[in-house]
Each structure stands twice: as C-alpha cells, then as structure tokens.
A and B are shown apart, each in its own frame.
Chain A
Amino acid sequence: MADPIIVQIDDVERPATAKEKAMIQVVQDFMASLPIIGEPEAGE
C-alpha cells in the first residue's frame, strides 16, 4: 500500500483528506506539466 500523503497545518501533521489530496494533485500535476530546465524541448 502506498504511503499516505501527509499534510502539515502549523504544528499538526496528519494524513490528507480527500479534498486536500485533490488540491495537492492539481498543484503537483501543474508543476509536472512545465518544461524541465536544462533538457531540450520536443522537436529540438
């Protein structure tokens, strides 16, 4: 089983709720969608 996603709210660490997981997914998918610095872009 995959490790749970842990969120920290101030001093409290706990597993992410479904709503928090969805928000994290949006942000991380966006980060992953950007070109990687130092690697040639497709077609180069």
Chain B
Amino acid sequence: MATPPDFTAGQVLTAAQMNKVGLWLIKTQTIGTGVTTTTVTDVFSADYENYRIIVAGGASSANTGNNNMAITLGATTTGYYQSALSYSYAGATAAITVNNGAAWLCGGQTTSGLNMILDLFRPFATDETFMSFSYSVMSTTGYGLPGAGYLNNTTSYTAFTITSLATTTHTGGTVYVYGYRD
C-alpha cells in the first residue's frame, strides 16, 4: 500500500490511517447578510486541544478605522492580550497591541473581503488560551499583520464570536473551524 496521503482508488482506509489525519473540519459557517456579529457555537470540545479558524470571502459594509474585526470567546470581554507589529503597504509602522482589552483584533475587513487565519490553543481546557494570527487589509492603503497573544483566564470555551467595527456589518464569507489532531 502506498504511504498516505497517496491513496489509491478503491482503497479501504484503516482506523490507524484515518487517525493520522492531522486537521479535521469541525464546522463550516456561512456569514449572513448585514450582521454585526457571527457566533459559531459548539466547536471547541475535548475532541481536540488546538484549533485553526479561517475566515474568507464576503465583505464589510464600509472601510473605516483599522479595517479589522474582533474575536471574543464565549461571553468574555476582558483579559485579552496581543502584540502585533508590521508595516502598512506604504511602509508605515502598523501595530495593534491589546493590553487587557475587550477582544483580540485578529482579522481584516474591507469592502473587498473578510480574512483571518487564527490558531487557537486550548480554548476548551480550563487554562489560559493562547493564539497566533495573521490577516491582511484588502485595500491599497491597508496593511498586513501577524501577531500573537493570549486570554488571561482559565475558563473553558465552546464558542467564539466575530464582531465587526462600529457602523459596519458583514455580509457573506465563510468561517471554517478545524481541529488539530492531538
């Protein structure tokens, strides 16, 4: 037998082979029309310790502020920390630091689209949750930003919420939640 992932047509996969699948799609959520927040429930569990969340497509209703969007876990709006330093496309310093803030700011939103790559570590565990992320602001005056941070509490979470900037809403796009095999 070929070594996975070079499977052959008609091949029967064993549990041992399937258990080596490293990234499992837990949930796909399409963002609706003109929504301020999108909450994705029941995605974090004892099944996986670490997760990858992708947001792609759709659009913001307007370009404003830092053209970014927020992530919160559960109903928590305090204790978020992150540091992120980069440059705008024009070469100006681009930094977004969160010091005991109300959310992580780890996604980009413009009228051209929404995007986010977020790795979330141990959100279900009764321990601090840490994360790393990157996003780009799809605008000629925008910026790209990688960063990392953590949530300073020991709460166990099962859900997260994406929030748009004030006076903006999100329409369309897809949220993908994957679990990393332990």
Contact B166 A28 (CB under 8 A): yes
Answer whether A8 and B77 are a contact pair too, CB < 8 Å, given A24-B37, A32-B65, A34-B105.
no
Checking B35, B88, B166 against A37 with a beta-carbon cut-off of 8 angstroms, the contacting residue is: B88
Checking B37, B70, B72, B94 against A7 with a beta-carbon cut-off of 8 angstroms, the contacting residue is: B37
Checking A23, A27, A34, A38 against B141 with a beta-carbon cut-off of 8 angstroms, the contacting residue is: A38
Answer whether A7 and B143 are a contact pair too, CB < 8 Å, given A31-B68, A37-B88, A37-B92.
no
Select from chain A the residue with minimum beta-carbon distance to B86: A37
Select from chain A the residue with minimum beta-carbon distance to B29: A10
Kindly state whether residue B114 has any CB partner on chain A within 8 Å.
no
Contact B103 A27 (CB under 8 A): yes
Complex Cα distance A24/B35, Å?
Answer: 12
Answer whether A37 and B103 are a contact pair too, CB < 8 Å, given A8-B39, A24-B163, A27-B77.
no
Contact B103 A38 (CB under 8 A): no
Q: Which residues of B contact A (CB under 8 A)?
A: 29-41, 65-66, 68, 70, 72, 75, 77, 88, 90, 92-96, 101-103, 105, 141, 143, 163-166, 169
